[in-house]
């Protein structure tokens, strides 16, 4: 819809249409603006950064999120810094799309969730679509409305799943506005409204969060609210404060597919504690749920044991009561 938008990456043109078929049909409709590239993630992101500097709005695809490390120099030391290095004379409206996570049996070098290594980079956004939101609207916002580089992390688990408009027995609210990317907040309604706790998650962990919330309610009699963040970095502190003020949780659970050490859940825990202390709210018990601190196995059975499951969330919460 915008002549400034180009898409570039490995094997994205028809008839292949990308490893996960996200770009299938696009090169046939826009042959001059969908570009196949050599197998070089640094070159893909470097070229896209140059295009952005010249006024275009490129979308670069990295075939697997595991390979984002090969483009880290271009993102961290170049695209994210040019705005300041050139005294606000240039901007880099670049989107880097990449599929992340496991549960497909792809093994240790094609199943990781490496986005945690790029959180907190000044000048760069990290965004993760999910099935409770509108992935297309998020991608449009990242491409056309954000003038800084955006790492757009897509869960392989969600590619084949339908979007969810609502969750039975819960009231939904979308927090947004300004330059921030949306947060979806679900609260319990009905005869026993009110919160026994709060689950934060993102991306591919959203189905697990929904499953855990429903099982905790229907089996254990516990009402936990669910907040699904799209914006992982910088953290949307105003959204988080709104959710905390509404839920008033005694227990906060943070679910990510990567190992929790020095990850998104650690930063979320710190943020929630800072907001809680500033508002003089009662103490919160924090639970971090993530993968085992090992490479992701190729064996499907071992992979399932390695990665977080809804059972892990339910068991951790039940142990608090």
Q: What SS3 string covers 189-233?
A: CCCCCCCCEEEEECHHHHHHHHHHHHHHHHCCCCCEEEEEECEEE
- Cα 257 to Cα 40, 155, 314: the distances in Å are 26, 10, 16
Strands 224-229 and 197-201: parallel
Locate 128 and state its tokens: 């993760």
Q: Please classify residue 185 by burial: count the beta carbons closer than 10 Å to its beta carbon, then call 0-12 exposed, 13-18 middle and 19+ buried.
A: buried
Are residues 241 and 200 in contact, defined by beta-carbon separation less than 8 angstroms?
A: no
CA distances from 207 to 90, 213, 226, 304, 314 (A): 40, 10, 11, 15, 13
* Contacts (Cβ under 8 Å, ≥6 apart) of 300: 105
Which residue out of 110, 130, 188, 239 is catalytically annotated?
110
The answer to whether residues 148 and 181 touch, using CB atoms and an 8 Å cutoff, is no
d(CA 214, CA 169): 9
Question: For residues 222 and 317, is the Cβ–Cβ distance under 8 A?
Answer: yes
- Our measurement of the distance from residue 248's CA atom to the centroid of its chain's CA atoms, rounded to an integer in Å, reads 24
Per the annotation, the verdict on 110 as an active-site residue is yes
Active site residues: 110
């Amino acid at each position: 819809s915008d002549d400034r938008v180009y898409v570039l990456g490995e094997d994205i043109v028809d008839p292949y249409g990308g490893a996960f078929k996200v770009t299938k049909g696009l090169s046939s409709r826009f042959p001059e603006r969908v570009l196949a590239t050599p197998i070089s993630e640094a070159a893909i992101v470097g070229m896209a950064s140059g295009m952005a500097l010249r006024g275009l709005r490129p979308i670069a695809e990295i075939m697997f999120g595991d390979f984002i490390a090969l483009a880290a120099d271009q993102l961290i030391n170049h695209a994210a810094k040019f705005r300041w290095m050139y005294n606000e004379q240039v901007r880099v409206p670049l989107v880097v799309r990449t599929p992340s996570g496991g549960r497909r049996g792809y093994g240790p070098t094609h199943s990781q969730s490496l986005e945690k290594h790029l959180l907190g980079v000044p000048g760069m956004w990290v965004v993760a679509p999910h099935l409770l939101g509108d992935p297309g609207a998020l991608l449009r916002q990242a491409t056309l409305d954000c003038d800084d580089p955006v790492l757009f992390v897509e869960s392989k688990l969600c590619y084949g799943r339908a979007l969810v408009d609502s969750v039975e027995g819960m009231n939904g609210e979308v927090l947004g506005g300004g330059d921030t990317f949306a947060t979806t907040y679900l609260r319990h309604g009905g005869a026993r409204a009110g919160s026994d706790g709060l689950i934060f998650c993102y991306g591919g962990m959203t189905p697990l969060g929904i499953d855990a919330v429903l099982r905790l309610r229907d089996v254990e009699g516990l009402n936990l609210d669910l907040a699904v963040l799209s914006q992982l970095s910088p953290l949307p502190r105003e959204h988080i404060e709104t959710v905390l003020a509404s839920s008033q949780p005694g227990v906060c659970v943070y679910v990510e597919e990567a190992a929790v050490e020095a990850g998104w859940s650690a930063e979320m825990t710190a943020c929630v504690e800072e907001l809680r202390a500033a508002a003089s709210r009662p103490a919160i018990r924090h639970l971090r749920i993530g993968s085992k601190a090992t490479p992701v196995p190729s064996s499907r059975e071992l992979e399932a044991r390695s990665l977080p499951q809804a059972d892990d969330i339910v068991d951790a919460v039940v142990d608090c009561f």
